[in-house]
A = this chain, B = another copy of it.
């Protein structure tokens, strides 16, 4: 059997909310190491990967590997029934056709139990090659969210350029053009306000703002976002989840047709 308890239902809500607009259905791959999930978005443009280590849970038990196919919109509906500070337990017997979701209020005066029907999904675990990224950026997740949201009003694609000075986000559209330059500030007072850029060589890649905007739904997961870029390979947009794991998004850059 599989049984995993988190002390705050709000974390599980945020995780599911961070990917449910992008991914419809996905397998939760449970092993004694933790829970992993990997899925393409419904248009097969971007890839989303979730990893939650066993030691991030208050209680974790997984007797044998299970692959639980869930509809994320339905799981989200159930999670909406939890109070933010409820204890949440996920539970599934081997060969069960439902995932049990239990919420317990701190005072134990309210206990909710749901059974989510599981669905059969093809297991398509894509190997993501190890890459030595040429440019790595770490910045406040809310700043990244704001920039993407602002630029999306002006155009459809955004060029992200990383240099030793910092990161530049550029956009063009019918109304004109613009760019937002964020400088490195490794000496910022608060850890979560730091902008840090590690560069082997300058990298400049262009992406669909629509997908970058989807990724920023993960902003509530934490104060930091990490961007990793190399020429001609997908960008990795990673949201670390405290001590528990991460949500990562992969998106291939647009090919500049003039260069072909």
Contact = CB atoms under 8 A, between A and B. Distances in A.
Interface of A: 71, 74, 77-78, 80-81, 98, 107-117, 143, 150-151, 153-154, 174-183, 185, 195
A195 B110 CA distance: 11
Given A108-B183, A117-B176, 12 more contacts: A71-B175, A77-B153, A77-B154, A78-B175, A81-B151, A81-B178, A81-B180, A98-B176, A114-B154, A114-B177, A115-B177, A115-B178
A117 B71 contact: no
Nearest to A73: B175
A3 B81 CA distance: 45
A174 B116 CA distance: 9
Contact of A114 (B80, B112, B176): B176
A78 B178 contact: yes
B113 A178 contact: yes
B81 A113 contact: no
Contacts of A181: 110-113
Nearest to A98: B176
A150 B79 CA distance: 9
A154 B79 CA distance: 11
A90 to B, nearest CB: 13
Nearest to A150: B81
Contacts of A81: 150-151, 153-154, 178, 180
A106 to B, nearest CB: 13
A113 B175 contact: no
Contacts of A115: 176-178
Contacts of A185: 107, 109
Nearest to A151: B81
- For the complex of A and B, 5 pairs with smallest distance between CB atoms: A114-B178, A74-B175, A81-B150, A112-B180, A115-B176
Contacts of A107: 185
A74 B150 CA distance: 12
Contacts of A151: 81
Contacts of A178: 78, 81, 112-115
Indicate the member of A111, A175, A195 with the most B CB atoms within 10 Å. A175
A177 B150 CA distance: 41
B176 A110 contact: no
12 contacts: A77-B175, A81-B153, A98-B176, A108-B183, A109-B182, A110-B180, A111-B181, A111-B183, A112-B180, A113-B181, A116-B176, A117-B176
